Chain A
Amino acid sequence: MQLYTPSSPHIHSGSSVSQLMHRVLLALIPGYVMYVALFGWGVVANLMIAVLTAYACETLMLLLRKRPLAPFLSDHSALVTASLLAISLPPLAPWWIVVIGIAFAIIIAKHLYGGLGYNPFNPAMVGYVVLLVSFPRELTTWAGPQEINNVSIGIADAIHISIFGTLGSGAGIDTVTMATPLDHLKTEISRGQSISDIIPASPIFGNLGGNGWEWISLAFLAGGLWLLYKKVIQWYIPVSMLTALVLISTVFHLIDPERYADPVFHLVTGATILGAFFIATDPITASTTEKGRLIYGAGIGILVYIIRTWGGYPDGVAFGVLLMNILAPTLDYYTQPRPYGERKG
């Protein structure tokens, strides 16, 4: 009779990394569906290329690093990186943009730093920023809402655009592209226009923020709330990031409503909600303490506002997240919880 002697505890909750990643993927579905409905199938073409590249890079790196394939390929983390980067890229981006971004994210930002759990920077955002600074033209060529263009982009069109850079009909993609709301607003303000003139003048703005983007933001919010409910993420980062963004944008909006957009516009436009619930909450690269996470989230919120308002890029979520990634270890060090039984202060 052989008795096993594992050490305590002898029971486990059953939670696993793959279950967490799986839930993040499920929570992204409403956002993807809304994206397809409003902007066409371009994002799905991105996703397919991203997933294939991600698995290829992940396998290659695991082999090179002599790590077991099965546990790490089944943790779904590469799939999450692929899904987040694919939805962050312009839906009509050429295929090689996606491949380069994912390859950089998985090979350099993730595996060269030690793989799952060891990367100090959010891989999807590293991939995004590398593309943004290297290929600014491709990264700022966005599809407009199908409703405005009166063109619906099917899956065949999307793949055609991705590979050949033209629609299936042969028409150039400039027929379906336009500036993003954040980009347009920034350009017009820099030309001395006031917000009350800019917004009614362009169909790319909707009731609250960017036309279509407001619905996508709501869909991301639904997924994010489900992640909170399922305890995949905690409230600290999304709440502090959104609160900081609302506070700072309110202050400036009150100072000069013609130059500074209102807080609701900032919440529902660009990558705010996606960033708050899906990107900033990446546990590996965020702060781990409760207080640290509040500061981390608030820092991202403020950086997003600063970059959007005064920086050189229309949106600032990726830079905000990466900059706060740098700070995460320091935040952890200085925000250790009060030891049990020790008085406050």
Chain B
Amino acid sequence: MIGKLFRYNGGLKLPENKEQTTHRPIQPASVPPRLIIPVQQHIGTPAEPLVKVGDTVLKGQMIAKGNGLISAPVHASSSGIVVDIGEYPVPHPSGLTATCVVIEPDGLETMADHLPPIHDVTQYTPEEIRERIHQAGIVGLGGAGFPSHVKLAPKHQHMVEILLLNGAECEPYITCDDMLMRERPEEILKGMLIMRYALMAKRCIIGIEDNKPLAAKALREAITRLKLDDVEVIEVPSLYPNGGEKQLIRVITGIEIPANRLPIDYRIVCQNVGTAYAVARAIHHGEPLISRIITVTGAVGSPCNLEVPFGILASELISQCAGTMDHIDRIIMGGPMMGFALPNADVPVVKTTNCLLALNDNILPLPHKNRALPCIRCGSCATACPVNLLPQQLYWYARAKDFDKIQDYRLFDCIECGCCEYVCPSQIPLVQYFRFAKGQIWEQEREKKKSDIARERHEFRQHRIEREKEEKAARHKAKAAAVAEDTSGSDEKKAAIQAALERVKAKQSAPEPTDGNTEQS
């Protein structure tokens, strides 16, 4: 049992704004006339479409298959007809488009044949369980979207000490994990047991911020009902960013994982509670991942948590929650600290969407990021930084575009949590500067790689030309030597040559013989 909790430097108490969406139970979202389903909703290679325009698909049918090791399949979130496969805007800060399968639902919600439910996972190998999780299209639902079967495959068996379920949910406004834990704790626990089996993990811990007492209570009661003596629920202080994987691990186990290492290097695997729920549905019910809980809040009439089939547009979810786009000037996908603002409300929600935060000036005034004052070096940013950086120094070097120095100050350790910018009295858009610097450095490295390749190619060509010249010179020399030898030869030889030449002249019709010398001219 773990008694004492640990802490890290920095972090912030933030206004939570969670109560707006925890009064009402999770509601199902209604299925609109069109679903736009991106084939990439995860980190890794995009899935490959398996359907054609005009195909009839059933709810839960695989419409795109995983491609390569780090990928995940995508399933139809409702039954209907595929009306298009093409480029549509997807949730991305710069409004990118990507391949999507567009389905017109028939409203019948006809289910595809499920994979047979597995009731006792021990009848299967961990490998088979992971394959089922992969086939169900499950990815990390905490936000990153990393394919879960990869994260559940340790290099060696019995190497995982702790399976940590992350129910911290530290970002303001978001309550989807909270509501899931309150309403469906048993499924979460069952999913956890499946993951524990796949990992052969020794211990199971669920970490929850202490601002969610009802979720913790629901889970504890479910643990008693299911008689799981060896699963522990640990309430951690509500301090942003305690829901960050490495921060939660630090608080619960005391282990600090540096920027260049992964939890698995420390025998820990961390999974989101929503992912555990999806795993339970996939294994015990044979259901693929086709929907999730999303918090829709902010400038909408009835903020709440919806169970949303993937492919519904953000704008439709907002109108389903009694919001009108006329009164909204920003939509944040994710939380207010790390989420990104959608350039376009008509983008589908995907597996990694946990929250839609609609904003206007009444709820949250638009920040005036261009009105920043100079840094007064107060150091509030360094005090708030959860990974011990000196943001004001990073800012200084980012502004000066000194990309060597900024890496000395460990720019790439920055997790972009936004704590520094939140407290900055000069209201400097620090995170924007850091992203800019990272982008520039990546760009330079790409350029360098390109130029390295070009240089190598050039050098190789130079080398080849040089070599050919040398070879040529050598051949010349050899030839010249041979000719010199010839001319200095005996009279007999000369006579013989003369005779030969004459023979040749005599045979005027005969074609000129060729020798190596013509090449060398």
**With the chains together, A17 CA to B418 CA distance in Å?**
19
Residues of chain B with a CB closer than 8 A to A234's CB: 379, 383
A19 (CB) vs chain B CBs: closest residue: B425
Which residue of chain B is the closest to A292 with respect to CB atoms? B379
Give complex CA distance A10, B383 in Å.
20
**Which of these, B328, B421, B435, contacts A12 with CB under 8 Å?**
B421
Q: Does A150 contact B (CB under 8 A)?
A: no
- Closest CB-CB distance, A118 to chain B, in whole Å? 6
Nearest-neighbor residue (CB-CB) of B357 within chain A: A10
Question: Is residue B197 contacting chain A, with contact meaning CB distance below 8 A?
Answer: no
Q: Is the C-beta of A345 less than 8 angstroms from some C-beta in chain B?
A: no
Chain B: minimal CB distance from A229 (Å): 16
Contact with B along A101-119 (1 / 0, CB 8 A): 0000000000000111110
A10-B330, A10-B341, A336-B390 known; A283+B431 contact, CB < 8 A: no
**Is the pair B256, A289 in contact by a Cβ cutoff of 8 Å?**
no
B172 to A6, Cβ gap below 8 A?
A: no
A7's nearest neighbour on chain B, judged by CB, is B432
**Bound complex: CA of A342 vs CA of B413, how far in Å?**
11
- Which residues in window 138-190 of B have CB below 8 A to A? 172
- From residue 359 to 403 of chain B, which have CB atoms closer than 8 A to chain A? 359, 364, 366-367, 369, 371, 373-380, 382-383, 386-390, 392-393
Contact, CB under 8 Å: A340 / B376 = no
**Are B367 and A3 touching (Cβ within 8 A)?**
no
The answer to whether B341 touches A341, judged by C-beta atoms less than 8 angstroms apart, is no
Most-contacted residue by chain A among B325, B341, B345, B392 (CB, 10 A): B341
Contact A9 B422 (CB under 8 A): yes
Q: Does A288 contact B382, Cβ atoms closer than 8 Å?
A: yes
Which one of B97-105, B257-265, B281-289, B485-493 is at the interface? B257-265
A118 touches B374 (CB 8 A): yes
Contact B377 A8 (CB under 8 A): no
Are A8 and B431 in contact, with the CB atoms below 8 A? yes
Knowing A8-B337, A336-B390, A336-B409 are in contact, say whether A283-B377 is a contact too (CB < 8 A). Answer: yes
Return the CB mask of B335-357 against A: 1 if under 8 Å, else 0. 01111111111000000000001
Tell me whether A5 and B377 are in contact in the complex, defined as CB-CB below 8 angstroms, given that A19-B425, A341-B256 are known contacts: no
A4-B329, A17-B425 known; A283-B379 Cβ under 8 A:
yes
Q: How far is the CA of A17 from the CA of B343 in the complex (A)?
A: 31
Chain B residues lying within 8 Å of A255, measured Cβ to Cβ, are: none
Interface: A134 (CB within 8 A)? no
Q: Choose from B15, B379, B426 the contact partner of A288 (Cβ within 8 Å).
A: B379
In the assembled complex, the CB of B296 is this many whole angstroms from the nearest CB of chain A, namely 16
Of the listed residues B258, B378, B380, B424, the one surrounded by the most CB atoms of chain A closer than 10 A to its CB is B378
- Does A203 have its Cβ within 8 Å of any Cβ on chain B? no
Query: B387 — which chain A residues lie within 8 A by C-beta?
Result: 339-341
Residue of B nearest to A338 (CB): B388
B residues near A5, Cβ cutoff 8 Å: 93, 330, 340-343
B326 nearest CB across to chain A (Å): 8
Tell me which residues across on chain B come within 8 A of A200, comparing CB atoms: none
Q: Give per-residue flags for B1-29: 1 if the beta carbon is below 8 A from chain A beta carbons, else 0.
A: 00000001100001100000000000000
Interface of B is mostly: loop
B410 at the interface (CB under 8 A from A): yes
Tell me whether A10 and B337 are in contact in the complex, defined as CB-CB below 8 angstroms, given that A4-B366, A332-B393, A339-B413 are known contacts.
yes
Interface residues of B in 416-458 (CB under 8 A from A): 416, 418, 421-427, 429, 431-432, 435
Is A207 located at the chain interface by the 8 A CB criterion? no
C-alpha gap A134/B337 in the complex (Å): 53
A10 touches B367 (CB 8 A): yes
**Distance of B335 from chain A, by nearest CB (Å):** 9
**CB <8 Å contact, A12 and B422:** yes
- A13 & B330 in contact (Cβ 8 Å cutoff): no
Within A1-40, the residues touching B (CB, 8 Å) are 1-13, 15-17, 19-20
B364 CB to closest chain A CB (Å) equals 6
What is the CB-to-nearest-CB distance from A256 to chain B, in angstroms, rounded to a whole number? 40
A303 CB to nearest chain B CB (Å): 21
Q: Does B321 contact A (CB under 8 A)?
A: no
Least CB separation from A118: chain B residue: B374
With both chains docked as a complex, state the minimum distance between the C-beta of B340 and any C-beta of chain A, in angstroms. 6
> Which residue from B337, B359, B388 sits with its C-beta under 8 Å from A9?
B337
**B76 partner residues in chain A, CB cutoff 8 A:** none
Q: B258 contacts which chain A residues (CB < 8 A)? A: 339-342
Asked if residues B390 and A288 are in contact (CB atoms below 8 Å), the reply is: yes
Q: List, in ascending order, chain A residues with CB within 8 A of B341's CB.
A: 3-8, 10
Q: How far is the CA of A115 from the CA of B376 in the complex (A)?
A: 10
Cβ of A257 < 8 Å from any Cβ of B?
A: no
Candidate in B8, B359, B374 with the most chain A CB atoms within 10 angstroms: B374
| Least Cβ–Cβ distance between B330 and chain A, in angstroms | 5
Docked CA distance A197–B187 (Å): 84
- Let me know if A16 and B343 touch, CB within 8 A: no
Roughly how many angstroms separate A138 CA and B149 CA in the complex, as a whole number?
80
Q: Is B201 an interface residue (CB 8 A)?
A: no
Considering the complex, give the chain B residue whose CB is closest to the CB of A11: B336
A170 contacts B by Cβ under 8 Å: no
Contact B373 A337 (CB under 8 A): no
* Least distance between A10 CB and chain B CB atoms (Å): 4
CA distance A234 to B382 in the complex (A): 12
Closest 9 CB pairs of A and B: A341-B258, A9-B418, A117-B374, A340-B387, A283-B378, A5-B341, A10-B336, A337-B388, A341-B256
Known: A9-B431, A10-B341, A283-B377. 11 other contacts (CB 8 A): A4-B341, A7-B369, A10-B332, A10-B336, A10-B364, A10-B367, A11-B172, A114-B374, A234-B383, A340-B246, A340-B413
Q: Which residues of B are at the interface with A, using a C-beta cutoff of 8 A?
A: 8-9, 14-15, 93, 172, 246, 256-259, 261, 325-326, 328-332, 336-345, 357, 359, 364, 366-367, 369, 371, 373-380, 382-383, 386-390, 392-393, 409-410, 413, 416, 418, 421-427, 429, 431-432, 435
**29 chain-A/chain-B pairs, Cβ below 8 angstroms:** A1-B326, A2-B329, A3-B344, A4-B330, A5-B340, A5-B341, A7-B341, A7-B435, A8-B338, A8-B341, A9-B421, A11-B15, A11-B364, A12-B427, A13-B422, A13-B423, A15-B423, A16-B427, A115-B374, A234-B379, A234-B383, A284-B377, A288-B377, A288-B382, A289-B382, A340-B258, A341-B246, A341-B387, A342-B258
